[in-house]
Structure 1
Amino acid sequence: MRLIHNSLHDEVADGLRARIFDGVLAPGSFIDEAALCADLAISRTPLREALKVLAAEGLVRHEPRRGSFVSQVTEQDLDEIFPVIALLEGRCALEATRNATDADIAALETLHASLQQHAAAKRITDYYAVNFTIHEAIITLANNRWLAQSIADLRKILKLARLQQLHAPGRLEQSLSEHLAVFAAIKARDGEAADAAMRTHLLRQREALRELARTQKSRLLA
């Protein structure tokens, strides 16, 4: 019975996580447990266990006597997280360069060709999907479970804000250029250059989000 219960609350956690990432449960919004239980046809127990999982991931915060709320990513959060994930993914790029076979390089080349096509057509959602696949491929090639686990934990927080940066003026083209620089370094078997290019790529994402926040603030004040 315990295995079934664990399976249910994991399934509920997956569903809530998807709603958060899709924006159905908006940042800062109150999580109505009664409504969710009715919607999902479950009892309070698996829902509360699922909320504990999401709270541990940083996606949900619990306030005593008030309930649970979807977390909001602050500017300070982004300032603190991006330098860390840049170091981690940079190291992944270095280790991936050391491990990549010719077949792996060919697969990455195909992905980057697709990335270029989506960038040219301004298909941001499709671009982001391929972009994510490329990052995942590089993490897989690094074959370092500690790096992969640490990056996955941070990504759950950054996913709340990351897609937005591609809407900053000129960011799509800049992102593509950065990706091609990472791939060129991997293809040349230059691990140090791949590390540096990946770190630059991640840190520029932070700059793009900062610029986007400034622009949005200016519009609100106008």
Structure 2
Amino acid sequence: MQAPKYQSLKDHVYEYIAQKIQDGTLLPNQKVNEAEICKKLDISRTPTREALFQLSSDNLLDYLPRRGFTVKAFDPKKKLDFSRIIGVLDALAATLCIEQLSDSDMKAMEGIVDKIDLDISHQHFLDYYMDQYNFHDIYIKKCDNPVLIETLNSLKNSFIRQSYASEDKQKLADVLKEVNAEHRKILELFRSKDKEALECTLKHHWRIIDTEML
């Protein structure tokens, strides 16, 4: 398996392992076989180790010296705590950039929301994860606050992926339909420049999936 063009080897390994965690191939507390990953991806040990340590930093893996890496057990309370913080910071980013979004930004967000409907209908939850990330990323990048942007990215990497790992695929799909309905509402609030309602909606938005799935 070759890394996609323009993606670093470390990022390629990171996405490969993160996907295996998300789709349930790698289970909580399961040891990650470094040698097997190197062989499967035809990648040397150095970028593989870099990716594993990054996954550990992002709370997807646990690292024990001389014992290696294991998949981090899901922590519902911590996940909910993270989502509450993300909601507040995401709302701040949205209110900071509400006057900066262009018509092309709005159209891009609308296109992503339509794509998300397809992701959900086909239960392509990995695609959903990336599309919803891109939806929020459009306006977050416009907030003109690098510290806020960096903090949000770090927090999202820590626990968000685990939200889309569920054995009950139909229930998850139903919950994500509700989440995407809020994406449409968020888009309309950007268009109407209603800061107060936008802030309130985004604070609630990040807690829907945790409240329903935890």
TM range (shorter): 0.7 to 0.9
The equivalent position to 1:176 in structure 2, one of 180, 185, 192, is: 180
* Residue 40 of structure 1: how far off its partner (Å): 4.7
* Residue 206 of structure 1: how far off its partner (Å): 1.4
Identity %: 23
Does structure 2 retain, via aligned residues, the 8 Å contact 1:27–1:70?
yes
The aligned residue for residue 60 of structure 1 is 61
* Residue 97 of structure 1: how far off its partner (Å): 1.3
The normalised TM-score by structure 1 is 0.74
Q: Which has the larger radius of gyration?
A: 1
Q: 2 CA distance for matches of 1:36 and 1:127? A: 25
Does structure 1 retain, via aligned residues, the 8 Å contact 2:97–2:142?
yes
* Residue 207 of structure 1: how far off its partner (Å): 0.7
The aligned residue for residue 31 of structure 1 is 32
Farther-moved stretch of structure 1 (76-85 vs 106-115)? 106-115
Q: Against the structure 1 CA distance between its residues 89 and 31, is the aligned structure 2 distance closer, same or farther, given a 3 Å change threshold?
A: same
Counterpart mapping for 1:49-198 below 5 A:
49-115=50-116, 117-118=117-118, 122-125=121-124, 127-164=128-165, 167-168=170-171, 170-198=174-202
Structure 2 residue ranges without an equivalent (≥5):
1-6
What number of residue pairs does the alignment pair up?
199
The normalised TM-score by structure 2 is 0.76
Q: Considering fraction of residues, name the structure with more helix.
A: 1
Structure 1 residue ranges without an equivalent (≥5):
1-9, 211-222
Farther-moved stretch of structure 1 (188-197 vs 71-80)? 71-80
Farther-moved stretch of structure 1 (187-196 vs 103-112)? 103-112
Does structure 1 retain, via aligned residues, the 8 Å contact 2:129–2:161?
no
The aligned residue for residue 48 of structure 1 is 49
Q: 1 CA distance for matches of 2:208 and 2:159? A: 14
Q: Against the structure 1 CA distance between its residues 157 and 95, is the aligned structure 2 distance closer, same or farther, given a 3 Å change threshold?
A: same
Q: Against the structure 1 CA distance between its residues 187 and 27, is the aligned structure 2 distance closer, same or farther, given a 3 Å change threshold?
A: same
* Residue 85 of structure 1: how far off its partner (Å): 0.8
Query: How large is the RMSD of aligned CA atoms in angstroms?
Result: 2.9
The aligned residue for residue 17 of structure 2 is 20
* Residue 186 of structure 1: how far off its partner (Å): 0.6
- State the AA in 1 paired with 2:122: R
Residue 142 of structure 2 aligns to a residue in which SS?
Answer: helix
Does structure 2 retain, via aligned residues, the 8 Å contact 1:182–1:197?
yes
* Residue 39 of structure 1: how far off its partner (Å): 4.1
* Residue 82 of structure 1: how far off its partner (Å): 0.9
